[in-house]
Amino acid sequence: MSGELARRLVPDDLWQLLEPLIPPPRTRPQGGGRSRADDRAVFSAIAFVLTSNCPWRALPPVFGVKPPTVHRRFGEWAALDLWERLYEKSVACYGEGPEVDWTRALAESVESRTRAESDQRPVRHESVAAVEIDGTGQPGPAAVTLPDRRATI
């Protein structure tokens, strides 16, 4: 991860407020697996996506984390109201001032982003396939409804 960009997006004093709010990683009972991506790198990447309006899949590789990891962690942390709690904690530490503006912007971006993503969830549709059948075995119009295998939830 680019140190300069990360420090600009997530300064050390912001990270000190944020780090205790991040839940510890779950341990796998069977052990093994890949090592967990660095929380600060993931948070910096999320802050970049939220403030630049960049699509998740277009996340620059400079952060050192993959877009699916960043998006998954965004969903986990949004479900835990991490950004709202960060904003509340920064207000408690700094009061209403310029130091709090960044966390307010992040919290508002998360709210609008999660709302936009929930509006874009795929919906199951049915497709209609035309089948040609009649009583004499000759082609004739009839409609059969088949599930659309492309739709996923």
- Give the helix ranges, DSSP H, for the chain: 3-9, 12-18, 39-52, 67-79, 82-94, 98-119
Specify the pLDDT at position 40.
Answer: 92
The stretch 82-88 carries a mean pLDDT of: 84
For residue 129, how many C-alpha atoms fall within 13 Å in the half-sphere facing its CB? Answer: 8
Checking if the pLDDT of 125 tops 70, the result is: no
Specify the pLDDT at position 137.
Answer: 55
Task: Tell me the whole-structure pTM to 2 decimals.
Answer: 0.67
Sequence-distant (6+) residues with CB within 8 A of 71 are 56
Q: Which residue has the higher pLDDT, 33 or 134?
A: 33
Packing angle of the helix pair 39-52, 98-119 (nearest 10 deg): 80
